Amino acid sequence: MSFTNLIRKPFRYEFRNTTLILLGINLLVFILTYTFPNATAYLALNPVLAVQGKMYWQVFTYQFVHGGLSHLISNMIGLFFFGIAVERRLGSKEFVLLYLLSGTLCGILSLAVYLATGTTEVFLMGASGAVFAILLAYAILYPNSIIYIWAIIPIPAPILVIGYAALETLYLVTGTNQGVAHGTHLIGLAVCWLYFVVRFGINPFRAWFKRR
């Protein structure tokens, strides 16, 4: 079996509602950190603690930690609405691999950026990097889907993703809307893009152009 065939070998299709399990894990971790605030320092991603403190697990656990109820709700809404649809199309195993790989690579690459730029006081937390990856996956799998912003404005899924990418890039370059990990969001989109190219041989732009 060639390397390409190995990388693209499909999982046996199963649908087990793992999106709801991920939602439950995020909720449980939120309750844990709310009840024991010191737990945030162990689970969120801080460059000093992760490297000097050897808390390497933070590149994985940060994605289940949220800074407040509104932070949790906004991410979980995105995970619920887009995650279930993506999981139904890809199957639970593929979905979980995409979600956790995206979130973990967002953590690793964000840590690398923090270390390279000398950013040490930040605590990265939240599922948004992985959720952005799932949003892109949704747009690739359902390119003709219409998403209603604020339940009013209809926007095709691919256009929404492109708009988000442009907005996050603008925020990152101009330094506006600080306190939000815009770079991590863009990493999530990039990881998902590469995932579809490498894993499925699908170029999102070509898929959108062909289908539309």
Q: How buried is 98 (Cβ within 10 angstroms: 0-12 exposed, 13-18 middle, 19+ buried)?
A: buried
Query: Does an H or E element contain 156, and which?
Result: strand 153-156
How far is residue 42's CA from residue 110's CA, in Å, rounded to a whole number? 17
Give the total number of structural domains in the chain. Answer: 1
Given this model, what pLDDT does residue 106 score? Answer: 98
Print the domain residue range for 134: 16-211
User: Average pLDDT in the 91-113 region?
Assistant: 98
Instruction: Read off the pLDDT of each residue in 140-148 and give the average, rounded to a whole number.
Output: 93
pLDDT of residue 124: 97
Higher-confidence residue of 148 and 207: namely 148
Grade residue 1 by pLDDT with cuts at 50, 70 and 90.
Answer: low
The pLDDT of residue 18 is: 98
Q: Which two tokens stand for residue 168?
A: 């996050």
Residue 192 CA to residue 45 CA, distance in Å, equals: 21
Burial of 105 (0-12, 13-18, 19+ CB in 10 A): buried
Residue 206 has pLDDT above 90, yes or no: no
Instruction: Provide mean pLDDT across the span 109-122.
Output: 95
Return the pLDDT at 202.
Answer: 92
Task: Using alpha carbons, list the distances in angstroms from residue 44 to 17, 37, 49.
Answer: 26, 11, 10
Q: Is residue 1 assigned to a domain?
A: no
Residue 5, in any domain of the structure: no
Tokens 């991603």 identify what position?
45
pLDDT the model gives residue 198: 95
For residue 150, is it within any domain? Answer: yes
Torsion angle (degrees, nearest 10) of CA 80, 83, 84, 89: 170
Convert the pLDDT of each residue in 67-80 to its tens digit.
Answer: 999 999 999 999 99
pLDDT for the residue numbered 105: 98
Evaluate the CA torsion angle 121, 126, 128, 133 in order and state its sign.
positive
- Alpha-helical segments (H) within 91-145: 92-117, 128-141
Could you read off the pLDDT of 47-61 as tens digits, one per residue? 999 999 999 999 999
pLDDT at 5 over 90: no
Yes or no: say if 126 and 66 are a contact pair by the CB < 8 Å rule.
yes
Q: What is the CATH number of the domain that holds 170?
A: 1.20.1540.10
Check: pTM over 0.75? Answer yes or no.
yes
Domain annotation covers residue 10? no
pLDDT at 212 over 70: no
Within a domain: 187: yes
Residue 141 lies in a domain: yes
Q: Decide if 205 contacts 196 (C-beta within 8 A).
A: no
Q: How confident is the model over 14-46, as pLDDT tens digits?
A: 999 999 999 999 999 999 999 999 999 999 999
